[in-house]
Copies of this chain bind each other. A is one copy, B any other.
Amino acid sequence: MKIQAAVMGHGVVGSGVVEVILNNASNIAKKLGKELDVKKILDLRDFDNLAYKDRFTKDFNDILQDNEIKVVAEVMGGIHPAFEFTKALLESGKSVVSSNKALVAAKGAELLKTAREHHVNYFFEASVGGGIPVIHPMYDCLAANEITEIAGILNGTTNFILTQMIKENTSFADALAMAQKLGYAERDPRADVEGEDAARKICIMASIASGKHVYPEYISNEGITNLTLTDVAYAENWGGVIKLIGYYKRAENGKSECMVCPAFISDDSQLAHVNDVFNAILVRGNATGDVLFYGKGAGKLPTASAVVSDMIDAAAMEDNCSFLYWEDSDHNELLAADEAKHEYYMLFDAANTDKLMEKTKELLGNVKVLSRENQPKNEVAFITPLIAGKDAANFVASVEPAGTLLNKIRVLEY
Contacts and interface: CB of A to CB of B under 8 A. Distances in A.
Interface in A96-112: none
Interface stretch (A212-220, A253-261, A296-304): A296-304
Nearest to A141: B133
Interface in A354-411: none
A341 to B, nearest CB: 27
B296 A293 contact: no
Interface in A291-326: 291-296, 299, 301-302, 304-309, 311-313, 316, 320, 323
Interface stretch (A81-89, A143-151, A223-231, A343-351): A143-151
Interface stretch (A24-32, A63-71, A189-197): A24-32
Given A291-B295, A302-B288, A313 B27 contact: no
A305 B293 contact: no
A140 to B, nearest CB: 7
A273 interface: yes
Contact of A291 (B144, B293, B301): B293
A77 interface: no
Contacts of A295: 288-292
Interface string A184-213: 000000000000000000000000000100
Contacts of A287: 20, 24, 131, 301-302, 304-305
A146 B309 contact: no
Contacts of A306: 141, 144, 288
Nearest to A137: B133
Contact of A301 (B24, B142, B288, B290): B288
A15 to B, nearest CB: 13
A46 to B, nearest CB: 27
A166 interface: no
Copies of this protein chain in the complex: 2
A168 to B, nearest CB: 15
Contact of A142 (B30, B211, B304, B309): B309
Nearest to A313: B140
Contact of A293 (B273, B293, B302): B293
A308 B140 CA distance: 11
Contacts of A312: 143-144, 323
A157 to B, nearest CB: 17
A136 interface: yes
A270 interface: yes
Contacts of A293: 291-294
A74 interface: no
A290 to B, nearest CB: 6
A29 to B, nearest CB: 11
Contacts of A153: none
A291 B133 contact: yes
Given A131-B288, A136-B141, A289-B299, 20 more contacts: A21-B144, A31-B139, A31-B143, A131-B145, A132-B291, A133-B140, A133-B142, A136-B140, A137-B137, A141-B306, A141-B309, A143-B309, A145-B309, A287-B305, A288-B296, A288-B305, A289-B296, A290-B296, A292-B294, A312-B323
6 nearest interchain CB pairs?
A133-B141, A144-B308, A131-B288, A287-B305, A291-B295, A292-B294
7 contacts: A133-B141, A133-B142, A143-B312, A270-B273, A291-B294, A292-B295, A320-B320
